Structure 1
C-alpha cells in the first residue's frame, strides 16, 4: 500500500500501478481535516480517477471522522455514493466482545464477565480499548470496569465521552438528539418517527432532518431492533443524563 502524505500523492497513486498488480490506495482525511470541498473531491477522485496502465486492479479507501461529520448526511443519503461502499464503524456486539476477550490473556472468560463488559462499555470501541489498556498494565478486569464506571459517572468524564463520540453541546447534532429524546418511547422510534422529531425541533433549517438522523445512526447513538425501532444506547444515554442536567 503506497504512503499518502498529501493530495498530490493520492492523485498520483490513483492512476499509477504496473500491469498485473493489485493495489490499495488510502486517503485518511482525519489526519489533516481538510475542508468540505476537498473531502468531496477525494471521494469523486477515488471513484473516477482510474489507473492509466492496462491490467491494474486498484481499490481506494477514504477515511472520514468526526471532523468530517457534516458530510455524512449527504454521503449516506446519496444512493450513487452508497453504491461505492460506505462502511460505518460500529460498536462491538456481544459476539464481537467475546472474540475480543480471546486476546486478553484470560480476562472476561465467563459469560457473566462478558455481560458486565457489555453493560459497562456499551460496546463502544474507545471504551473497550481503555479496558484493554488497563488489562495490559496488569489491572484486574473488575478494577478496570470499576474505574471506567467511576469515570463515566463523573459529569466531566461523561461530557468527555459524549464529545468523543460526536455529541457536543450547542451543536446541531446535540440539539437534534435532545429533541429525539423528548419524543422517545419505551418501544423506540422508527426512522420516520426520528425524522419527524428532528423536523419539529427546527434545530438547523439548512440540513434536512433525514440527513441528521442518518448521521446520528452512523454515530451509533441508537440501539436498533430487528423491527427497525431505535432506542438510545444505554451507556451514552446515562452519560447524556448526567451532562445535560448540569
Structure 2
C-alpha cells in the first residue's frame, strides 16, 4: 500500500484536525522537516502527544538530518532501499540531477544509462520510484524530494 506524502495544503488540514502546529512558520517548518512523509508526520503527532510543545517536537525532528541511524531507518522505511534495482535507480537519479529538476524522459534515460538496464526496466524503476513518492512535482518537472535525498546520502 502506498501512502501519499502530504503537500503543504493537506498538512495544514492535518494540523487543524490534530489541533497543533497552528502558525504558518511552524507548518512550514513541519513540512520542511517531514517532507510530508506519513511516517514522519505520525512521529510528529506522537512526539506532540508526549511533549505538548510544538517547537520541541520540531527540534526533535530536525535530528533526522544529522543522525545516521535515524536517516537509515527512514530511507529503508520509504521502500527506496527495498530492491537493489530501485536503490540503483534512485542513486542514478541523484548522481545525474542532484537537487535539480528533470522530466520523465530524462529520468528514464539516466536510469537506463547509469544503471545499465534496458528501457523497460528503466521504466519499471522510475514508475516504482514515482509510486513511492520520491519525486516532488512542479508541472512536468520532477525533483528528488530533499529530505529523502539527504537521508539516502547519509545512509550510503
Same fold at TM > 0.5? yes
TM-score (norm 1): 0.59
Matched, 1:242 2:154: yes
103, 111, 116: which one pairs with 2:17?
Answer: 103
Q: In the aligned structure 2, how far is the partner of 1:116 from the partner of 1:124?
A: 14
Alignment of 1:162-241 (within 5 A): 162-168=75-81, 171-184=84-97, 187-202=100-115, 208-226=121-139, 228-241=140-153
Q: How many residues align?
A: 156
1:202-244 residue CA offsets vs partner (Å, 9 max, x unmatched) = 3555962111101101111111111x11111011111122122
TM-score of the superposition, structure 2-length normalised?
0.90
Q: Aligned partners of 2:54 and 2:92: how far apart in 1?
A: 37
Asked if the contact 1:91–1:125 (Cα under 8 Å) also holds between the matched residues in 2, the reply is yes
Check the 8 A contact 2:80/2:129 in 1, yes or no. Answer: no
RMSD: 2.0
Unaligned runs of 5+ in 2: none
Q: Secondary structure at the match of 2:18?
A: coil
Q: Structure 1: any 5+ residue segments left out of the alignment?
A: 1-64, 66-87
Do the aligned residues in 2 keep the contact of 1:172 with 1:204 (CA within 8 Å)? no
Greater length-normalized contact order (CA 8 Å, ≥ 6 residues apart): 2
